[in-house]
């Protein structure tokens, strides 16, 4: 199986890019744009293999010395440019890892390939240091800039790099990957596919995070019980939920619950429901509430989320949020 077969989604884009490799028309620099976990790094790796492959067929053979050394991370002419002193690429990183290195001819490959993860986070000084290399690259230089938002790069950098956008996969494509490649049970795979927002990388991260599914079940069950639960118990939930402070999807779970609730109320049997296996519970709760009550419950979540970002005491923010929702949904 070559890397084009192993990757999922964006088939037309991948065919176009690998065709350019095969025909010797691949640009010396380009931006691979897509959400975190969308496969930008995998695509960059596949392109590096294809460009350096000794067969010259436009895809990696997987068996030549070049393909194997890239796979192992030891190819002398393929570089992953990483920050050394801060969390983002700075001017010294670019000067030392790119500008100086590209001035030396390839050791064994056709090209010297530089992959810049999170290129859109580069400092302006780093981008300006990179600019001269982009303007006058050696014939053997190839630069793959990975970005969530290409628009965050300086216009002078963007103008020299065509942008290839990776589209999110469907929930079904992500779920199929998890089932086929990772052996994930169907129900769990479809749930992770929903929360991954079309990114296999994000789905894999959630799969490896044992605490995510436990948190998802805990949050969902308590939100269903909230309208008829006594105040003392609800305050206890708020204290318990402070343990999710470092979970980036905690607030998203809360907001998606009320999005699902409104969706099931307004469009019964909608295929876009996240919690499909809880449709009957969603329908039952939705019948007890007005759309306005649901929206105001979601507003309470947004308020608590903003307060948490402003370093307001998290437990107090959660207590106020839950009590507001409980009062709003009192039946």
pLDDT per residue as tens digits for the range 57-66: 878 888 999 9
Q: What is the rounded distance in angstroms from the CA atom of residue 167 to the CA atom of residue 11?
A: 10
Higher pLDDT pick, 18 / 2: 18
Please name the CATH architecture into which domain 3-165 falls. Answer: 3-Layer(aba) Sandwich (3.40)
Both tokens of residue 325?
């929702």
Contact yes or no for 77/52 (Cβ under 8 A): yes
Say how many CA atoms lie within 13 Å of 79 toward its Cβ.
23
Task: Bin 91: left if φ > 0, else alpha if -120 < ψ < 50, else beta.
Answer: alpha
Share of the chain above pLDDT 70, in %: 93
Q: What is the rounded distance in angstroms from the CA atom of residue 225 to the CA atom of residue 241?
A: 15
Please name the CATH architecture into which domain 210-328 falls. Answer: Up-down Bundle (1.20)
Please indicate, yes or no, whether the overall pTM of this predicted structure exceeds 0.75: no
Strands of the sheet with 78-80, listed across from one edge: 78-80, 112-116, 141-147, 29-33, 163-165
Q: What is the rounded distance in angstroms from the CA atom of residue 5 to the CA atom of residue 55?
A: 18
Q: Which of 195-204, 253-262, 295-304 has the lowest mean pLDDT?
A: 195-204
pLDDT per residue as tens digits for the range 276-328: 666 678 778 878 888 899 999 999 999 999 998 888 899 999 999 999 999 87
């Amino acid at each position: 199986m070559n890397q084009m077969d192993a990757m999922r989604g964006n088939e037309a884009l991948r065919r176009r890019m690998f065709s350019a490799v095969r025909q010797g028309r691949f640009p010396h620099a380009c931006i691979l744009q897509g959400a975190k976990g969308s496969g930008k790094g995998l695509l960059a790796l596949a392109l590096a293999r294809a460009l350096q492959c000794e067969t010259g067929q436009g895809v990696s053979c997987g068996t030549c010395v070049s393909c194997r050394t890239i796979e192992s991370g030891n190819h002398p002419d393929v570089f992953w440019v990483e920050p050394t002193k801060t969390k983002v690429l700075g001017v010294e990183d670019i000067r030392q890892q790119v500008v100086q290195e590209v001035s030396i001819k390839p050791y064994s490959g056709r090209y010297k390939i530089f992959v810049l993860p999170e290129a859109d986070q580069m400092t302006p000084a780093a981008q300006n240091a990179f600019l001269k290399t982009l303007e006058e690259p050696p014939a053997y230089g190839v630069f793959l800039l990975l970005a969530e938002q290409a628009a965050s790069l300086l216009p002078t950098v963007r103008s020299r790099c065509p942008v290839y956008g990776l589209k999110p996969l469907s929930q079904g494509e992500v779920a199929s990957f998890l089932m086929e490649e990772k052996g994930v049970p169907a129900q769990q795979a479809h749930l992770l596919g929903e929360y991954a927002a079309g990114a296999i990388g994000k789905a894999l991260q959630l799969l490896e995070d044992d605490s995510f599914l436990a948190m998802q079940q805990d949050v969902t069950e308590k939100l269903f019980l909230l309208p008829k639960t006594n105040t003392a118990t609800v305050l206890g939930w708020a204290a318990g939920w402070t343990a999710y402070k470092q979970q980036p999807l905690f607030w998203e779970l809360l907001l998606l619950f009320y999005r699902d609730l409104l969706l099931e109320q307004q469009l019964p049997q909608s295929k876009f429901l996240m919690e499909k296996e809880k449709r009957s519970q969603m329908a039952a709760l939705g019948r007890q509430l007005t759309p306005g009550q649901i929206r105001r419950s979601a507003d309470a979540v947004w308020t608590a989320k903003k307060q948490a970002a402003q370093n307001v005491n998290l437990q107090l923010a959660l207590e106020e949020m839950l009590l507001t929702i409980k009062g709003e949904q009192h039946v």
